[in-house]
Amino acid sequence: MRTYKPTYKNKTGKTKQVSKWWIELRDHLGNVRRFPAFTDKGESEKLGRKIERLVVCKLNNDPPDRILSEWLENTSEKLRNKLVEIGLLDSRRAAASKSLIDHLKEFEKSLQAKGSTEKHAKQTTARIERIIKECGFTYWSDITASRVLQKIVQFRKYVNIVKVKKVNGKKVKKKAKKDNGQISSRTANYYLKSIKQFCKWMVDDRRASESPIDYLACKPVKKIIDEEHPRRALEMDDLLKLLETTKAAPKRFGMNGNERYLLYRMAAETGLRANEIRSLKISSFDLKNLMVKVSAKFTKNKQEAIQQLRPDTASELKEFFRGKMSNIKAFGGTYKQLTDKTSNALKADLTDADIPYVLNGLYFDFHALRHQTGTLLAESGVHPKVAQTIMRHSNINLTMSRYTHILTGQESEAVAKLPDLSLPSREKQKSVASGTDGKSDLAGNLAFLGGHLRTSANSDELVATCINKEKAPFSAQNQRFQAKNKAFSQRGRRDSNPQPSDRQAELGVCKCLSIKG
């Protein structure tokens, strides 16, 4: 190894030396390598000796010792990349020497490249960064599962607030953070999933050999639905009342009553999420074919969504969009208005319609309009599979259990549709029809059968007559058999090949029954 200062010629042709010292040595393959060092010769020689020790480790196929590993962790990224390039340092070792914050920046870029929204990517990396800072991790080798688990359960939820104070008689606003207590089990699971996803990415990207927290499992959450904000669907009359009231309401948060009315109506009929509606432009609507299209960039499953519109809704939207440019937002004017103010506007409209925002612990916010869609589809008798397709759920249980609600009166109507269990069994009906039930009263048998007397499948059905014994039992029977004889006579005239013997036999039976009556 030798240290030297390279020379160069300036614009005037004079020979000059560079300010930094350079190191020249041979690598593990015998090739001459040169590295820029420092302005101090002693520090440059120390650097050269460490690189030489790295060459010896490579020749002996030994991993770097503790002192050399610490040096690699603190050295510049440019030098580490140079050592990786010439084969003196393994790429995984170089990644382990890189700070976790630097890895995290590249992880965020990879999330966006895979299709995650900017909001989701920033939220995920923010959670990971909080864990890294709270645990005091700097490099990959610092991560331990026990430390991660201990810190996550201690996390507290902070929300940004604005405090107003009077200073010299003037109101001064100051940003502050409010402590809302310890995070929930669900939120703790989100943090753990985020750091596990990051560690898995490190392994998949060949930056590390294995994940130190792979065995950690999320804490089970008892309730499937969001216990902090469970939602409900409105009764049909309340929904119509909300839409009527909103249409006549004044302008709120940059949207007039008619615009909010169309917004709520379309959300309840299509099941589109708030973020999907925010992305809609007038060009997203094909009102001729009754469709609205949402780009895959804004859908939750990252697939393009095409939802059908009702003809009357499409007609009202067409009138609302008349005279507007196709490239502007469909609702809300600006993205911020619809992002921050939609729930507040809905609260105000619910108040005007005298509908509670919270009822029995269940909320009706903007996302509850999506619950309304699932409920209306079920109430209309739509097949569950069709409802699942409209709601764009991967699991039909999600459609039926979380997004479909029971409305008032549906349970009683369902029970009323059950079969009448007071009716006699088939065996009982047969015994009554044949007269083997111990009752010879013909009128009673007819009454029991609902006024109908049935013979065999090959014989004609007798005229259905309800017999009243108290008023005219004998005459009623005679009238019935006279009608029967007339029916046989008409049948004989219509039949091209009558059967006299059968007809005479049936008339004989009728005659006997008439005499008996």
Angular region, 298: left φ>0, alpha ψ -120 to 50, beta rest: alpha
Confidence of residue 447 (pLDDT cuts 50, 70, 90): very low
The span from the CA of 260 to the CA of 281, in Å, is: 16
CATH of 236-412, one of 1.10.443.10, 1.10.3720.10, 1.25.40.80, 3.40.50.300: 1.10.443.10
The span from the CA of 326 to the CA of 285, in Å, is: 9
**How does pLDDT run across 454-475, given as a tens digit for each residue?**
444 444 444 344 444 444 444 4
Q: Residue 307 in contact with residue 317, Cβ under 8 Å? A: no
Angle at 482 between CA 481 and CA 487, to 5 degrees: 95
**How does pLDDT run across 121-147, given as a tens digit for each residue?**
999 999 999 999 999 998 888 899 999
The span from the CA of 49 to the CA of 175, in Å, is: 53
Residue type, 5: K
The span from the CA of 164 to the CA of 181, in Å, is: 23
**How does pLDDT run across 316-340, given as a tens digit for each residue?**
999 999 999 988 889 875 445 554 5
Q: What is the pTM of this model?
A: 0.55
What is the percent of the chain with per-residue pLDDT over 70, rounded to a whole number? 79
Half-sphere exposure of 62 (CA within 13 A, CB side): 12
> What pLDDT was estimated at residue 465?
41
Which pair of structure tokens corresponds to residue 451?
């006024």
Q: What length does the chain have?
A: 517
Which pair of structure tokens corresponds to residue 364?
């009706």
Q: Which of 242, 228, 223 is nearest to 372 (CA)?
A: 242
Task: Give the rounded distance of the alpha carbon of 30 from its chain centre.
Answer: 60
The span from the CA of 276 to the CA of 507, in Å, is: 79
Angle at 212 between CA 206 and CA 217, to 5 degrees: 115
Q: Which of 287, 289, 293, 291 is nearest to 318 (CA)?
A: 287
pLDDT-wise least confident of 214-228, 334-348, 351-365, 393-407: 334-348
Is the predicted pLDDT of residue 439 greater than 80, yes or no? Answer: no
Higher pLDDT, 451 or 22: 22
Q: Residue 94 in contact with residue 69, Cβ under 8 Å? A: no
Residues 6+ apart with CB under 8 A from 449: 429, 432, 433
Is the predicted pLDDT of residue 351 greater than 90, yes or no? Answer: yes
Q: What is the mean pLDDT of the chain?
A: 80
Confidence of residue 191 (pLDDT cuts 50, 70, 90): very high
Bridge-based pairing of strands 291-294 and 305-308 is antiparallel
Confidence of residue 222 (pLDDT cuts 50, 70, 90): low
The span from the CA of 225 to the CA of 181, in Å, is: 21
Is the predicted pLDDT of residue 260 greater than 80, yes or no? Answer: yes
Please list the alpha-helical segments (H only) found in 13-64.
41-59
> What pLDDT was estimated at residue 200?
93
**How does pLDDT run across 365-395, given as a tens digit for each residue?**
999 999 999 999 998 999 999 999 999 998 8
The span from the CA of 167 to the CA of 171, in Å, is: 6
The span from the CA of 59 to the CA of 27, in Å, is: 9
Q: Which of 105, 80, 107, 104 is nearest to 93 (CA)?
A: 80
**How does pLDDT run across 56-105, given as a tens digit for each residue?**
988 888 877 878 877 877 777 788 778 888 888 776 666 666 788 989 99
Q: Which residues belong to CATH 1.10.443.10 in the chain?
A: 236-412
The span from the CA of 328 to the CA of 334, in Å, is: 9
Task: Give kind and range of the element (H or E) at residue 106.
Answer: helix 100-113
The span from the CA of 307 to the CA of 336, in Å, is: 24
